[in-house]
Amino acid sequence: MTQPHPPQGEDARGTAGTGEGATPDSERVAPSSQYRDIPQATVTRLANYLRVLGSLSETGTLIVSSEELASAAGVGSAKLRKDLSFLGPNGVRGVGYDVLRLQARIENALGLDRGHRVVLVGVGNLGRALACYPGFDRRGFTLSGLFDADPALVGSTVGDLVVRGVDRLESDARELGATIGVVATPEDAAQDVCDVLVRSGVRSVLSFAPIELDVPEHVEVRRVDLAVEMQVLSFNSARNDELLRAAGGAHAAGIPPTRGPLGSAVSTPSPARRSRTGKAGPLGSAVTRNGSVIAP
Ligand SMILES: NC(=O)c1ccc[n+]([C@@H]2O[C@H](COP(=O)([O-])OP(=O)(O)OC[C@H]3O[C@@H](n4cnc5c(N)ncnc54)[C@H](O)[C@@H]3O)[C@@H](O)[C@H]2O)c1
How many C-beta atoms surround the C-beta of residue 218 within 10 A?
7
Pocket test for ligand 1, best of 121, 123, 126, 230 (most atoms within 8 A of CB): 126
Kindly indicate the confidence band of residue 35, based on its pLDDT and cuts at 50, 70 and 90. low
Residue 52 has pLDDT above 60, yes or no: yes
ipTM value for the complex: 0.97
One-letter amino acid for residue 181 of the chain = G
Is residue 224 predicted with pLDDT exceeding 60? yes
CA of 27 to the centre of ligand 1 (A): 45
Which pLDDT value is given to residue 210?
94
What's the rounded mean pLDDT across residues 106-110? 88
Read off the pLDDT band of 15 (50, 70, 90): very low
CATH number assigned to the domain covering 115-224? 3.40.50.720
Are 120 and 184 spatial neighbours (Cβ–Cβ below 8 Å)? yes
Task: Give the range among 26-40, 137-151, 170-184, 239-253 with minimum mean pLDDT.
Answer: 26-40
Best CA proximity match to 193, nearest among 211, 181, 178, 179: 181
Q: How many CA atoms does the CB half-sphere of 171 hold within 13 Å? A: 4
127 is in an annotated binding site: yes
Q: State the pLDDT confidence band at 92, using cuts at 50, 70 and 90.
A: confident
Closest CA to 193 of 204, 182, 201, 203: 182
List the CATH code of the domain at 9-112: 1.10.10.10
Domain ranges of the chain: 9-112, 115-224, 227-269
- Could you give the angle at the alpha carbon of 199 between the alpha carbons of 147 and 188, nearest 5°? 55
Q: Atom 27 of ligand 1 has which residue's CA nearest to it? A: 185
Q: Name the residue of 185, 195, 196 to mutate for ligand 1: max ligand atoms within 8 A of Cβ.
A: 185
Mean pLDDT (the chain, rounded): 77
Rounded to an integer, what distance in angstroms lies between the CA atom of residue 274 and that of residue 269? 9
* Residue 256: predicted pLDDT: 52
Phi/psi region, residue 257 (left: phi>0; alpha: psi -120 to 50; beta: rest), is beta
pLDDT(216) > 70: yes
